[in-house]
Amino acid sequence: MTALRQHAITGTHWGFRNGTTSSSEEEVFNQNVFTDDVAKELMPTESFDQFKAALKAGEAISPDVADAVAAAMLEWALGKGATHYTHWFQPLTGRTAEKHDSFYEPKDGKALAKFRGKELIQAEPDASSFPNGGLRSTFEARGYTAWDPTSPAFILENPNGATLCIPTAFTSWTGDALDTKIPVLRSMRALSDAALRAVRLFGDDESQAVFTTAGAEQEYFLIPEHYFYERPDLVTTGRTLFGAKPPKGQELDDHYFGSIPERVLAFMMEFENELAKLGVPIKTRHNEVAPAQYEVAPMFESSNLSCDHQQLIMQTIQNTARNYGLVALLHEKPFAGINGSGKHNNWSMGTDTGTNLLNPGDTPHDNLQFLFFCTAILAAVKKHQGLLRATVASAGNDHRLGANEAPPAIISVYLSDQLQDVYDQIENGTATTSKEGSILDLGSPVLPDLPADAGDRNRTSPFAFTGNRFEFRALGSNQSISDPNTVLNTITAEALNELCEKLEAGIAEGKSLEDALAPILTETYKANKDIIFNGDGYSEEWHAEAASRGLLDLKTTPVALKQWLDEQTVATFEKYGVLSEGELESRYEVYIEQYVIKTNIEAETTYDLAKTSLLPAAVRYINELKTGAPSLAGDVEELVEKFSAAIKELAIANLDENHPTEIAAEADYMCDVVLGKMLAVREIGDELERVVPDYLWPLPKYREILFVK
């Protein structure tokens, strides 16, 4: 038996962790969250009331109230076993960051726990090594974290203790945003102002705020831990840089929504239990299309909280998997030829009085407020289609977009049959009817009649209306959802204000709301209907049609990221105070540099793995053939010669002196030249995998990695 087969057998065994999730979710939900109930119990009544009033009004917390909150947090955290606290923030790395400080200070030979309002409100992590895109010189290190009271503090547990985590924003000494939270909060304010302006026109005088909500479905792979560590490419880059297609992949569709393997289900139960403690409401879990691929979906929350929770979801998936001898892969395309992983960002908006502004109701044709908001979104997506594409651009996502598991790089909107019919009527005059759902008779008396929606879904659409929200389906599984939600909020605020201005002008002329609104809906729809596509986004015909419509097809990250610098992007983001021109430029610089660095790491890993592992294995096989079956050695020798030549070409292409010095040009070079050389090495390496015997091939193969449960 080969070592790989032995590992495969070993990998099927795991120790069941009895009692890990014995408590009900009702008992553990928010167990490790500093909720309003906890704060109310531990704070003086007057301080708590002032705290909540400031949050509702969107005002700063006074120092006295901050001291009261800090004292309550300290008492609560110590009761949870915490010894340290951290300002938990989200720099432009795509992940979270922490610097832990102890609660305890020495006094009179003893340790005394202290935590004051000033420590709650502000901290100073070293900002010099976080990406800033040229906003500051590397020798200028000062940066601040600022408490975000709208996202509750929480406890992260460890077998040896616990830490109080305080969600914070991260800014430079000069006041520039160095994180993803600040833009989200700014964009939510901009959208709330614009949406309130709109609902006032439709007679809503009660609502005081409009909140955008988000809920991102998370896809991921789980593979046996020992296979992960036997794949240097997975360890270093998160994806396999070599790997031949197995005899069986996902062709039979037998994994999709199939019964969840016992070990995986046990992991999911513990994972969901840990998230419940952190107040992250998980709704759905299931097998995804690819073997070893799974999905988890949270419930919708305020955009800011959802962005924070999405980071906790990714972190908790990876941490919990290790308890079961598994490793969670969040890369967008960890296995070539197998579906990759993404996120579906469900986005909507609602008033603080409970109205979902994207709920069309049963008769959307006469829901004027909904049609107003929906039309504004169409205009926003059409105008800023390139920027939306830029928010999902990354080295990993380039491998996934446009494949069978992800929408194309062309941004378009799917409206559903019902809404499309309403807009067709609007284009031709006035909408007077709405398509109704039907009843499905399944032909057996023991089966219930099923109500069918008035419109189907389109899985190939990047931006689809799905009943009471829009689903942005192009996000990569590894990314923060902050940028997409920041952009959606900002561009929608702009479009709402533009339509409000027109509607207010019509009403000022003495027209009724209905008479003033009708031509605005018609004209806006006609001007932006090219963004709507209800067909097959994977078809070649759509690419040609999209080009004829003038839609952007930004296939690669270096091309797409330039949209952050577009004049209309700068104008919109500066107008609404979400990101300055300098902050936009810095983000472009950070993201384009990350593309270059990640691609370069992949290129160097490809070279190293091919040169030091795969090539020697193939040469050894040639030597064995020459001894035992010399007539068979020729074909393998020819393949090895091609492999060696391809490795040399990759090495030359990735020499530092061959790289352009300007970062945008270097990104283009990595995309257009180096990636092609990597692929050439991989193609021959994968061919060798089918030739070299198992006992010589140094890497676990897809058939082991994906199918050992």
Q: 104 and 192 share a domain?
A: no
Distance CA 488, CA 486 (A): 6
Percent of the chain predicted with pLDDT > 70: 94
Distance CA 10, CA 19 (A): 24
At 416 the pLDDT is 87
Q: What CATH number should be reported for the domain holding residue 110?
A: 3.10.20.70
Q: What is the mean pLDDT of residues 400-417?
A: 89
For 16-38, the pLDDT digits (tens) are 555 455 566 678 999 999 999 99
Asked if residue 1 has pLDDT above 50, the reply is no
pLDDT level of residue 13 (50, 70, 90 thresholds): low
Q: 287 and 219 share a domain?
A: yes
At 432 the pLDDT is 87
Any domain includes 639: no
DSSP helix/strand/coil, 295 = strand
At 679 the pLDDT is 98
For 312-350, the pLDDT digits (tens) are 999 999 999 999 999 999 999 999 999 999 999 999 999
For 123-181, the pLDDT digits (tens) are 988 777 888 888 877 677 788 999 999 999 999 999 999 999 999 999 998 899 999 99
Greater confidence (2 vs 163) lies with 163
The full 3-state SS of 7-60, as one line of letters, equals: HHHHHCCCCCCCCCCCCCHHHHCCCCECCHHHHHHHCCHHHHHHHHHHHHHCCC
Q: What CATH number should be reported for the domain holding residue 361?
A: 3.30.590.10
Q: 145 and 215 share a domain?
A: no
At 402 the pLDDT is 82
Per the structure, the complete domain to which residue 281 belongs is given by: 187-438+450-593
- Tell me the backbone φ, ψ of residue 700, rounded to 5 degrees: -60, 140
Q: What is the mean pLDDT of residues 452-477?
A: 87
Any domain includes 682: no
Q: What is the mean pLDDT of residues 433-450?
A: 74
Q: 91 and 214 share a domain?
A: no
Q: 511 and 478 share a domain?
A: yes
Instruction: Estimate the crossing angle of helix 417-427 against helix 368-383, to 10 degrees.
Output: 90
At 12 the pLDDT is 58
| Surface-to-core class of residue 570, CB atoms within 10 Å of its CB (0-12 exposed, 13-18 middle, 19+ buried) | middle
For 281-317, the pLDDT digits (tens) are 899 999 999 999 999 999 999 999 999 999 999 999 9
Distance CA 190, CA 211 (A): 10
Any domain includes 302: yes
- Contacts within 8 Å (CB) and 24+ apart, 647-656: 647/607, 647/610, 647/611, 647/615, 647/681, 649/677, 649/680, 650/603, 650/606, 650/607, 650/610, 650/674, 650/677, 650/678, 650/680, 650/681, 651/607, 653/603, 653/677, 654/600, 654/603, 654/604, 654/607
Number of domains in the chain: 2
Decide which of 162, 179, 196 is a domain's last residue. Answer: 179
Decide which of 157, 179, 201 is a domain's last residue. Answer: 179
For 640-680, the pLDDT digits (tens) are 999 999 999 999 999 999 999 999 999 999 999 999 999 99
Asked if residue 454 has pLDDT above 80, the reply is no
Q: 174 and 195 share a domain?
A: no
Any domain includes 573: yes
Give, in order, the Cα–Cα distances in Å from 611 to each of 268, 493, 604, 647. Answer: 39, 53, 10, 7
Q: 191 and 152 share a domain?
A: no
Greater confidence (462 vs 125) lies with 462
Any domain includes 198: yes
Any domain includes 640: no
34: left (phi over 0), alpha (psi -120 to 50) or beta: beta
Asked if residue 4 has pLDDT above 60, the reply is no
Q: What is the mean pLDDT of residues 1-20?
A: 57
Q: What is the mean pLDDT of residues 570-576?
A: 98
Arithmetic mean of pLDDT over the chain: 92
Any domain includes 12: no
Q: 427 and 516 share a domain?
A: yes
Closest CA to 488 of 505, 513, 463, 512: 463
347: left (phi over 0), alpha (psi -120 to 50) or beta: beta
Q: 255 and 167 share a domain?
A: no
pTM for this entry? 0.95
Q: 108 and 161 share a domain?
A: yes
Any domain includes 602: no
Distance CA 465, CA 494 (A): 20
Decide which of 179, 202, 225 is a domain's last residue. Answer: 179
Q: 300 and 427 share a domain?
A: yes
pLDDT level of residue 49 (50, 70, 90 thresholds): very high
Q: 257 and 327 share a domain?
A: yes
At 335 the pLDDT is 97
For 227-286, the pLDDT digits (tens) are 999 999 999 999 999 999 998 888 887 888 888 999 999 999 999 999 999 999 899 999
pLDDT level of residue 96 (50, 70, 90 thresholds): very high
Q: What share of the chain is helix, strand, coil (3-state, %, to 5)?
A: 50, 15, 35
For 379-392, the pLDDT digits (tens) are 999 999 999 999 99
Pair type for strands 161-172 and 82-88: parallel
